[in-house]
Structure 1
Amino acid sequence: MAKPSRSKSKTAAKSPVSKSSGPTPALLQKHPVLVTAGIFLVLMLIFFFAAIFQGKTYATPDAQAAATITAPLDKILWQDRIYPQWMPYIFGGMPSFASLTYNPFAYFPDLPLYPLRRMLAYALHYVLAGLGVFLFLRRKSADYLPALLGGLAFMLTPYLITMTIFGHGSQMMTTAYLPLALWAVDRLLEKFSWLNLGLTGLIMGFMLQRGHVQIAYYGIMFTGLYVIYHAIAALRRKENKKILPMLGGYMGALVLALALSAMLYLPLQEYTSYSIRGSASVLQPASGKADTGVGFDYATQWSFSVGEMMTFIIPSFYGFGGATYWGNMPFTDYPNYMGILVLGLAVVGLFKRVPQAGFFALTIVLALLISFGKHFEFFYRLFYDYFPYFNKFRVPVMILVLVQCSTAILAGLGLQALLQPLAAGEPREAEARARRALIAKRLWLAAGLIFSVVLLFTIFRSSFQEFMSGIYPDRYELATQARLDERRVGMLLGDMWTIAGLAAVGLAMIALAYTHKISPKTAAVVIVLATLFDLWIVDKRIGNPPVSEASKRALLQPDEVAQFLQKDSGLFRIYPTLDLFGEMRWAAQGIHSVGGYHAAKPRRYQDFLEATDLQSGLMNDYFEVVEQNGQRGLRPRAEEAIPAARRNALKHWLDMLNVKYILSFFPLPEENWVNRATVSFNYGGNNYPLMILENTTVLPRAFLVGNYEVHAENLAALSRLASGEFDPRDAVILSEAPGIAPQPDSTASAVIKEYHLHKIVIETASAFPQILVLSDTYYPTGWHAFVDGNPVKTHVANYCFRGVEVPAGKHQVEFRYASRAFTAGVWLSLGALAVCLACIALGRRRNSV
């Protein structure tokens, strides 16, 4: 079976060009992959020209948040020569490496790519995405131009472009490996060899290493389904002897890939049980099976809908980002468009039953059904409840990358199937000529029909707009809604004319080729160029144009808030109120906050925030929503309207959290929250006065207590903490009784001598045994406690923080961060890399003999 395939491959490589076509075709004939890579690279350099060559960047909230949290970690990495694994800047501190927030060089290709501008590294991954489809299509005997079309279609898929523009580079780079992994697995299934085993393990390992776990998971599903599909096909052909090598080869490559990415995934696995992605909230109703995932409702946010499949055909059918988008996935600024000719040719590929059409059809249907999430709850729950780790993911629409990759491959195979019969020239038989003429006539009629339909919509625009306005949701007052609906319909009609023109070009090219007015190659060239134009103009509408990198640098510079806070040399946290609770910008200056944003927050800390409602930023306590002139806003609530018990509880919680400063747009009526400064703060592009209130009763980050309460059940401990009746100055809540007998001691003291990323040193002095409370997140697999150099147990203190038993007298308590999973992962990854490279070298050596 292997020999005929290689023979077909050679034939396919020669078919697109002719020996008499001059030097360029000769280069293409000799180095088709190199030429294609060059074409793809030039296109991406042009597309991202401003970001690569003019010092500009895409200023999106996600990209800015990532920049602010990585800035202090970069400084520690390069100035202090410490590889950061922890970040104290958000929540109560959390792993930076194990949470996939910051993991430089865990993706091994980053080593050679590091000197390059980041956007250039992204551009190279787009090239990789296109080449993966191109190589797979060539393996399936596609000629050069159909393979080029498929690669181009996937590389310029709007969703992939969106990932980079909106700051999801790891998602894009992981996606880029999907077709390349499929190509490598296809090689391995055809012939098991050391070369193919090492190559597949390396490619899939890099896909996993890139760090977007959800896309990598989909990649394993994609390639695994491909193996199963081929195994079933072999079984039906009664080629039972091939099944075991297929499965064994794939499993061997998968083991290598997992080992190669162990540096990333072992710490991730270690952290998962402590994060919202891997453990159920104690606040979850205790009925039925505990949900150890992110929660079904949270997991199915951003579920695709059947209606939005219209964006496969018309990009702006659901608007195009911002206020114009009217679907049910908030902040969606792109369409799931794949190109009208690409979609049409993919359908042709399915009807023509091109190679692996069944597999790609199955993948598309399966991925679509999963993407519907809550809109097809029964089906999604099958995966959420029973597939390992599937319940850790959210945003079901993300799986559409498999639809887009499969569609691009089918489009290339579809174009090949259409044009291949024409390669022999005009048929001699009159019946065959008549049949082709009839096909051409129908294609011309189809093109005319498409134009007629769009023309009718344009002529009767007012009726069309009235109809669409009845579909669009009413979210604004009448005049604003009317203007928005008119804008949406204008975009829709504009896209309909563009789609009609492109469809007509594609149909015309095939019709002309079938009547031998032009060559099949000319038709293919025009279709490729039309697809390039189609995707290019849609991609250029995504997001805002890049801005000067000076704006990014300005974001990392201290604003007036940071300048004031940096005058305080002590160790403290801030509590940003209202919408500022999720703000990350001050992390760039190394300022610690009780808030922030992360998709995998520490579970215990999240439970604490929810139980106390601190994550609302005091909105539900000190403010009330008002409406004025159709606008919703906030105003301070009357002091007497706020329950005294609630106010007292809030003060206890903020004291315990080491919150020394509260950031608020409004005055807050607490005597111990004193306004120290009012600074100008840029919020949403406008400057507002922001008050910096000092909490004068704040507890230090580390303090000693002589009383304790034992609550073995997590819910009981959290309920006691959240009751408002518990005072952290008087006692500490533990999950088990300590081995000492602490007593109250007014003379006891705890002084932090060192507070570094991976090491905290505290000196204590007391007349009686005490419990040392450190209001940093409890994470025992990373942080280990020592008293006078001897290892001791770290207790869960106050539900989500750390506690250590300290004997009477003077002692030195150390907390050291050391992840065994990280160390083991590094060695496993390096070992797997050596094995993969050895397999490839051995395979190449055997092939050369």
Structure 2
Amino acid sequence: MKNISWKNILPHVMATIIFIVVAVIYCKPALEGKVMQQSDMIHWQGMAQSSFQYKETHGHFPLWINSMFGGMPGYQVAMDADNPISLGYLHHLFTLFLPAPFSYFFLLCISFYFLSQVLKVDYRLGILGAIGYAYASFTPIIVSVGHVTQVLTMGYLPFLLGAIFLVFQKKYWIGAALSSIFAALLIAQNHTQVIYYFLIVAVFAGIAYYIQWIKNKEYKHILITSAILISAAVIGVLTNLVSLATTYDYSKATLRGGSQIIDTATNKTKESSGLDINYAFGWSYGQAESFSLLVPNIYGGSSERSELGADSHLAKEAVSKGISEDQAEQFAQQFPTYWGNQPFTSGPVYLGAVICFLFIFGLIYLKGPDKWWIATVCLLAIVMAWGKNFEGFNTFLFNYLPFYNKFRVPTMTLVIPQFLFPVLAVIALQKVIFNENNKAFAEQKLKIAGYVMLGLFVIVGMLYMSFTYTGEGDARITGALNQMTQGNTDVANSFYNALKQDRQSLFGADILRSLLFAGIAFGILWLFIKSKLKPAYAIVALLLISSIDVIAEGRRYLNNDTFIDAGTVDENYFKPSQASEQILKDTGYYRVYNLTQQDPFSDALTSYFHNSIGGYHPAKLSIYEDLLNYQLRKAQPNLHVLDMLNTKYVIVPGQQNQPVAQQNPGALGPCWFAGVIDFEKDALSIMKRINDFNPKDTAILDDTLKKALPFMPVPDSTAEIKLIKNDNDVITYESTSVTNQFAVFSEIYYDRGWKAYIDNKESPIFQTDYVLRGLAIPAGNHAIRFEFKPASYYNSLKLSIAGSALGWIIILGAIVQFFRKKKITTA
């Protein structure tokens, strides 16, 4: 205890306590047992319910699930990775075993604080940057909708960058150990897109420092650093190889791997690798919308909630038309205020006016490589977020930047400035407050920063005056208003014009708000440089004003009203309807098509109770997506396709709009013998053929499978095949026939793990009717078994354990090295 420097430890303990207290206050209703109505988590519960039911009886999650899209790999929803020495267990240590949602905000704070200490920043400035990073509006927004993997991945970005900087600083052993740990934990959170953005950050930082080392001829340091970081990356990948390998393997069969059928309008066959660019760029940030980093409500905020109250222009206009004040407020709150060109959004990306000002000050004031690589990568991220709104550049990146075409939602790149703006801000504050001897120089740079900031507000003011405040989605609003006013266009237009006034008012109010916060931050720094404010007071003042700025804005999107009783969520989403209860009485094997949902193929709640032909998942199998686009997402869905998918029940709206179960008499069941096999030349021809065929009698195969087919079926009226048991990963059937037959199974074709055995002898599975499985079954009595044993899962599991072992060895080496140095120091 004598060797412990409590003076050095106490500030970090204080910082940790502050982070816990702020997180607890921010999410206080969770202490009372309330939960957030997180749409993505609700979807996930629907997606994963069958996996958890399976685990209750089998002791582990299935690798294949039947509850969504006719069947898909279960490891994309819930997965056991039997690695007893995984580095992933350390996650609980870095979140101090805090429950969600407190742990989310704490992780982001403590992670950024760690980075700030690696950068040798005063602990109070570290707290300022940590709160600025953790509570910027994007974080509470994604927490409120349940993007858990995304926020947890963001939580490890500063940790890993800090560990990399330790290696850069020649603290090799501790840097190696922490880089291995944080690389493993970052990847373990399983949000590949945010990890990809971190790689962009790391590459730019690396280039900046490697250039310096080359100039200084530090070749040994370059070799050691490279070896350590490559080793850490390998350990991080190996530790998480089960999830990485299975996801990569699966991605080849999804839209991210491309589809042979692309354009439903032209019916052109075209093989592609990666997402369709129009789909990928669906959520592109507007160029002017980027000013939301500084002024949040430039485009009205959220499309899912209204900022309008009784004092809004729309409510007042309603009152003037004879509507009571209470009803007028309710009327106004029906209209979300977002009017940008994204399809919809839960809210803007706001980094804080104080953080933005300090970032600009850092760009002008600082020297050295940090400001240049940070400025470059932030600018790149903002331009990438524009997506289709800066089409030439972003199309080039989409086509040529490795793996970039696997991702959608370009706006997500704004996690990079959310991360790096506070980094540069605290570096600048550290230098100006503690290391600047030339006050005149600092004053000059502060003035320039003030002028630049003022110039930005002038631009924002010009936008305020020039905007029309009309959006691409306004046709729906005007249509609704015309319907509400029973076709009275004058009244409808008066309401619409009032709504546009409200959009302008929201923008104007936030201009003043941001100008005030930025002005206060400027004033604090000015007073400090003029020696009229002590360093401690300046730091605390900036910490408070910056924290108030971002936390207050974030409370628009995550507040006490976001939390509800846990029982209410179950009642609203997970209580079976009468239709579901009726269907559940049937204990057979079948699928359900729910037409009471707005989009049956973006609905996971049906999967909570039934095996559904719909579902919710960001990466469907491409063959199934094609089937949906060509056969089921039509005004009149192809009934034969419903039959071949074993859709025994359809849930439809009743007379009172209540769900009603209807039985489909044409459902073909789990399996059948097709008497005829037709061959088509390619995927498009097969899909066209499915437009008009009877799957009960005919099976459609690709021409390329002719040679692999051992025989053609011969009619046999007595032939029979039946399902014995479907246990997710193992399915058994029995067949009997006098002649050779071709069996079709109402199971989705997936060649990356499924094997078929006839009397324990492997037999090839044929892709049939575009999405189903087929088997050539010889005459006689046979036991048929399908097994799902993906090599990507079983092979990677062994390597994952080996990677974890390597990680622990490096950690042990770092600990030994630490105590050796301590012993030498104290000797």
Normalising TM by the smaller chain, what interval?
Answer: 0.7 to 0.9
Aligned AA for 2:246? P
Query: How far has the Cα of 1:223 moved from its partner?
Result: 1.6
- Give the alignment partner of residue 509 of structure 1, picking from 514, 519, 524: 524
| Alpha-carbon distance in structure 2 between the residues aligned to 1:492 and 1:332 | 17
Report Cα offsets for 1:408-451 as digits up to 9, x if no partner: 101111222332357x7xx9xxxx68x8889999999999x899
| Alpha-carbon distance in structure 1 between the residues aligned to 2:225 and 2:622 | 41
Change (3 A) 1:768 1:403: same
Report Cα offsets for 1:490-511 as digits up to 9, x if no partner: 3233323332332232222223
Residue in 2 aligned with 1:732? 699
Determine helix, strand or coil for the equivalent of 1:316. helix
Change (3 A) 1:754 1:236: same
- Give the alignment partner of residue 421 of structure 2, picking from 407, 415, 419: 407
- Contact residue 439 and residue 511 of structure 1 kept, 8 A: no
- Contact residue 581 and residue 615 of structure 1 kept, 8 A: no
Query: How far has the Cα of 1:841 moved from its partner?
Result: 0.7
| Alpha-carbon distance in structure 1 between the residues aligned to 2:82 and 2:270 | 39
Query: How far has the Cα of 1:210 moved from its partner?
Result: 0.9
- Contact residue 255 and residue 275 of structure 2 kept, 8 A: yes
Aligned AA for 1:607? D
Change (3 A) 1:472 1:295: closer
Change (3 A) 1:444 1:519: farther
- Contact residue 562 and residue 586 of structure 1 kept, 8 A: no
Residue in 2 aligned with 1:569? 587
The count of aligned residue pairs is 755
> TM-score if structure 2 supplies the norm length?
0.85
- Give the alignment partner of residue 757 of structure 1, picking from 718, 722, 728: 728
- Contact residue 87 and residue 804 of structure 2 kept, 8 A: no
The answer to whether structure 1 residue 547 and structure 2 residue 564 are counterparts is: yes
Aligned AA for 2:400? Y
Q: How does 1:823-838 map to 2 (within 5 A)?
A: 823-838=794-809
Residue in 1 aligned with 2:577? 559
371-380 or 833-842: bigger deviation: 371-380
Residue in 1 aligned with 2:290? 309
Residue in 2 aligned with 1:794? 765
Residue in 1 aligned with 2:666? 697
Query: How far has the Cα of 1:810 moved from its partner?
Result: 1.8
Runs of 5+ in structure 2 lacking a partner? 304-335, 479-492, 821-827
Determine helix, strand or coil for the equivalent of 2:661. strand
555-564 or 836-845: bigger deviation: 555-564
| Alpha-carbon distance in structure 2 between the residues aligned to 1:813 and 1:337 | 58
Residue in 1 aligned with 2:511? 496
The answer to whether structure 1 residue 480 and structure 2 residue 490 are counterparts is: no
Aligned AA for 1:752? L
- Give the alignment partner of residue 78 of structure 1, picking from 42, 50, 56: 56
Q: How does 1:46-195 map to 2 (within 5 A)?
A: 46-51=25-30, 53-97=31-75, 99=76, 109=88, 113=92, 120-191=99-170, 193-195=172-174
Query: How far has the Cα of 1:778 moved from its partner?
Result: 0.6
Query: How far has the Cα of 1:846 moved from its partner?
Result: 2.0
- Give the alignment partner of residue 595 of structure 1, picking from 614, 639, 643: 614
Query: How far has the Cα of 1:392 moved from its partner?
Result: 0.9
Q: How does 1:314-333 map to 2 (within 5 A)?
A: 314-322=295-303, 323-333=336-346
- Contact residue 364 and residue 449 of structure 2 kept, 8 A: no
Query: How far has the Cα of 1:34 moved from its partner?
Result: 3.3
Query: How far has the Cα of 1:85 moved from its partner?
Result: 1.7
Query: How far has the Cα of 1:170 moved from its partner?
Result: 0.3
Query: How far has the Cα of 1:393 moved from its partner?
Result: 0.6
- Contact residue 751 and residue 764 of structure 1 kept, 8 A: yes
| Alpha-carbon distance in structure 2 between the residues aligned to 1:313 and 1:108 | 39
| Alpha-carbon distance in structure 2 between the residues aligned to 1:692 and 1:559 | 10
Aligned AA for 2:279? Y
Q: How does 1:374-385 map to 2 (within 5 A)?
A: 374-385=388-399
Change (3 A) 1:768 1:575: same
Q: RCO higher in 1 or 2 (8 Å CA, sep ≥ 6)?
A: 2
Residue in 2 aligned with 1:518? 533
Report Cα offsets for 1:448-498 as digits up to 9, x if no partner: x899999x99xxxxx998854456564433233223223323323332333
Determine helix, strand or coil for the equivalent of 2:742. strand
Residue in 1 aligned with 2:685? 716
Residue in 2 aligned with 1:338? 351
- Contact residue 764 and residue 811 of structure 1 kept, 8 A: yes
- Contact residue 750 and residue 763 of structure 1 kept, 8 A: yes
- Contact residue 262 and residue 268 of structure 2 kept, 8 A: no
Change (3 A) 1:843 1:169: same
- Contact residue 70 and residue 102 of structure 1 kept, 8 A: no
468-477 or 325-334: bigger deviation: 468-477
| Alpha-carbon distance in structure 2 between the residues aligned to 1:713 and 1:444 | 64
Determine helix, strand or coil for the equivalent of 2:715. coil
Determine helix, strand or coil for the equivalent of 2:224. helix
| Alpha-carbon distance in structure 1 between the residues aligned to 2:725 and 2:448 | 80
Determine helix, strand or coil for the equivalent of 1:333. coil
Aligned AA for 1:731? T
Aligned AA for 1:547? I
Change (3 A) 1:696 1:749: same
Report Cα offsets for 1:203-240 as digits up to 9, x if no partner: 11211121111111212222233222211222233434
Provide the alpha-carbon RMSD of the alignment: 3.2
Determine helix, strand or coil for the equivalent of 1:779. coil
| Alpha-carbon distance in structure 2 between the residues aligned to 1:147 and 1:117 | 19
> Sequence identity, in percent?
24
Query: How far has the Cα of 1:383 moved from its partner?
Result: 2.7
Residue in 1 aligned with 2:201? 222
The answer to whether structure 1 residue 203 and structure 2 residue 182 are counterparts is: yes
510-519 or 308-317: bigger deviation: 510-519
| Alpha-carbon distance in structure 2 between the residues aligned to 1:108 and 1:778 | 35
Change (3 A) 1:365 1:136: same
Residue in 2 aligned with 1:460? none
- Contact residue 706 and residue 769 of structure 1 kept, 8 A: no
| Alpha-carbon distance in structure 2 between the residues aligned to 1:491 and 1:468 | 13
Aligned AA for 2:290? M
| Alpha-carbon distance in structure 1 between the residues aligned to 2:640 and 2:270 | 35
